[in-house]
Structure 1
Amino acid sequence: MRHEYRPPQRRSRLTRRGRLALFLGTLFALGAAVLIPILHGGEVPETPRRLLIPEGQRAPQVYAAIDRELKLPPGSTKAAVATAGLALPAEAKGNPEGYLFPATYPVTSKSTPATLLTDMVRTANRKLATRAVADGGKAHGMTPYQTATLASIIEAEAEGRADMGKVARVVHNRLAKSMPLQMDSTINYALNRSTVDTKLSDTRIDSPFNTYARQGLPPTPIDSPGLEAMAAAVAPTPGDWLFFVTVKPGDTRFSATYEEHRKHVAEFNRIRAGGGSRTGQAGPAGK
């Protein structure tokens, strides 16, 4: 048998460009996820910072917290409200007070006052739209905005979560009897302060937030209420109370009559005069 002559084959050698192409082809075969970090220099995703907004803060306090977190000049966040396009109810008239929901929000290099405010308002709307809160509000004939307003009073007046339902009942009972709410917290909001010392002269100020002189809820919320306060606003604890006063920390007294309430207020004043705690909160007609 004759064998056809074949010249010896030379082993092909890859050029530098060819070796690079082979290397990249192998990486593509292993998956694009392997290739991306190499091509982009091994970039690591940004770890968000955290911005905590506590329950009961007023809008100016939230604005200041955002300015500090984003290292912006004071007033930057407040100025951004007008152009942020916030999803507020018509009743709010562009004022986000009560809708800057207290929670922890992620902050990155892309965060702006508008994005953070939008997240807060979106969260508040979502909480107010939960079935329990929304259905409870409707049962009491309240709009979501009125629920937020009542919840903000509860947030400011209740010493702790355990008392929120009773404080809510006092407000509901007073509204049902067409009695002024007489809440010191709304006076404090009108005077831009936080104190337990409400004087007789304070109750005579000319302000729509003076619930000693005016009946019904104040025109806007007075702080940022949490979900517990919202829930209490629409599901108050059963009772006939019309008054309350925190005599000392952990001891809030609720009363159905003014005579009983006066006794509790007298004890509150004795404790304070004797150098006791000054953190008591006087409720309706507490002075």
Structure 2
Amino acid sequence: MEHTEQMDEQKERQSNKKKRKKRRKGPPSWVISIYVVISLLLIMALGAGGVYYYVWSNLKPTHAGEALKVTISKGMSASGVAETLEENGIIRNGKIFGYYLKLKNEGSGFQAGDYELQPGMELSAIINKLNAGETIKAETIHFTIPEGYTVQQIADKLSSEGFVDKDTFMSLATGEHDWADAETVRSIPESDAFKVRLEGYLFPETYEMKVGSTEEEIIARMLQETDHKLNSLPEGWQDAIDASGRSLHEVLTIASLVEREVVVDEERPIVASVIYNRLAYPMRLQIDATVQYALDEPKERLLQADLDIDSPYNTYKVDGLPPGPIASPSLASIEAAIFPADTKYLFYVTKKDGSQTHLFAKTYNEHLKNIQLSNKASK
């Protein structure tokens, strides 16, 4: 009896123990899985939100400030531009901005130069400005080179205006130098006879250049202008030079002679034809302007002694053309030298009636008569 009671008590304890275990058992595993997934999503959402906030905050405009001069160097990458903008306080974060540019497919069109940018600008405004190349307009100088000027006259003029050192300018124009960005200057032949190597190759024009431009930069710009002007000539000009049997250097030399001999544009092709006719005859050119160029100082009136000076530029004593141009020819003179008039003229004399035109002749006797007519007109 007592044993039976003990058994019953033991069974009851075991039953209670099982009930307690049952009560302590947690939620099902699938519920726990849902809890875990939700928790992870919340963590990811918070993380993504943090990243988004970080990116957004770094793409916001900076605090407004005074405009700054920011230099974008030639060849600078988009990331380099971004770094420069951050260093100047125009944007908040260069790396984030760099990624933003890649996302927007921007940066490859940014143009080099000095920009006025202001802290507080919208990113779109910065990008548009760099793409458009809206650089700060540099302070500039202006100078005009008249047609028919020699290199010496050009140097004197620019020196008097404070733009160049005359000796440096003349040294560059006289000596050998690699003008890599200029094409026409390569036609200059090797010669020890030149008075000034670049004579005739510095185009007479009005120029605008940055303040502080060096003598080398000014000369290079003028040489490039010669290239530009030649490319504006009527189609076929290069073929016409080839057909003439003359080099470009010789044609520019003829153009410079025309420039110094002619005032009225309509006569330029006619005077060019006289030069070609005398060269073909052959006859010495006997052009006073070449003697003036050979002299140390030009004279108002040449004397017989001047015509006898020993110089490769003195066309009263040497056959053919002088070694090179004697001045900077205008485009009109260059075109006349390339496309001369078709005439038989061998002589011309200036009318002394103030018209600055000429009388032309095919023979020496006709020329003598024209000289008499010119002298009568002056009385």
TM-score range, shorter chain: 0.7 to 0.9
Question: What is the RMSD computed on CA atoms of the aligned residues?
Answer: 2.9
Distance 1:219 1:234, change over 3 A: same
Superposed CA deviations along residues 61-113 of structure 1, whole A, max 9, x for unmatched, are: 11222323444443231133347533533416571001011111112224111
In 2, are the aligned partners of 1:27 and 1:34 still within 8 Å (CA)?
no
| Partner Cα separation in structure 2 for residue 114 and residue 190 of structure 1 | 26
2:225 is aligned with 1:123: yes
| Partner Cα separation in structure 2 for residue 108 and residue 22 of structure 1 | 34
2:134 is aligned with 1:28: no
Aligned to 2:278: 174
Gaps of 5+ in 2: 1-57, 65-90, 93-119
| Partner Cα separation in structure 2 for residue 165 and residue 241 of structure 1 | 12
After TM superposition, give the deviation of residue 201 of structure 1 in Å.
Answer: 2.4
Aligned to 2:332: 228
Report the secondary structure of 2:270's partner residue.
helix
Of the three residues 63, 85, 101, the one matched with 2:178 is: 85
Report the secondary structure of 1:165's partner residue.
helix
Higher share in helix: 2
Q: What letter matches 1:154 in structure 2?
A: V
Distance 1:27 1:90, change over 3 A: closer
2:253 is aligned with 1:149: yes
After TM superposition, give the deviation of residue 146 of structure 1 in Å.
Answer: 0.5
RCO higher in structure (CA 8 A, sep ≥6) = 1
Report the secondary structure of 1:149's partner residue.
helix
| Partner Cα separation in structure 1 for residue 302 and residue 217 of structure 2 | 38
| Partner Cα separation in structure 2 for residue 268 and residue 233 of structure 1 | 26
Q: TM-score, normalised by structure 2?
A: 0.59
Q: What letter matches 1:256 in structure 2?
A: K
After TM superposition, give the deviation of residue 44 of structure 1 in Å.
Answer: 5.0
Superposed CA deviations along residues 39-71 of structure 1, whole A, max 9, x for unmatched, are: xxxx95224222111110001011222323444
Superposed CA deviations along residues 153-205 of structure 1, whole A, max 9, x for unmatched, are: 00011122111011001001101101101111111111144456333322222
In 1, are the aligned partners of 2:188 and 2:249 still within 8 Å (CA)?
no
- Identical counterparts, % of pairs: 30
Higher-Rg member (1/2): 2
Q: What letter matches 1:255 in structure 2?
A: A
Aligned to 2:291: 187
In 2, are the aligned partners of 1:204 and 1:213 still within 8 Å (CA)?
yes
2:169 is aligned with 1:46: no
| More deviation, 131-140/144-153 | 131-140
Of the three residues 96, 103, 114, the one matched with 2:216 is: 114
- State the aligned residue count: 251
Report the secondary structure of 1:105's partner residue.
strand
In 2, are the aligned partners of 1:98 and 1:152 still within 8 Å (CA)?
yes
Superposed CA deviations along residues 6-50 of structure 1, whole A, max 9, x for unmatched, are: xxxxxxxxxxxx9985667863245217999xxxxxx95224222
2:295 is aligned with 1:203: no
Q: What letter matches 1:96 in structure 2?
A: L
Q: TM-score, normalised by structure 1?
A: 0.77
5 Å-filtered alignment, 1:96-107, equals 96-107=198-209
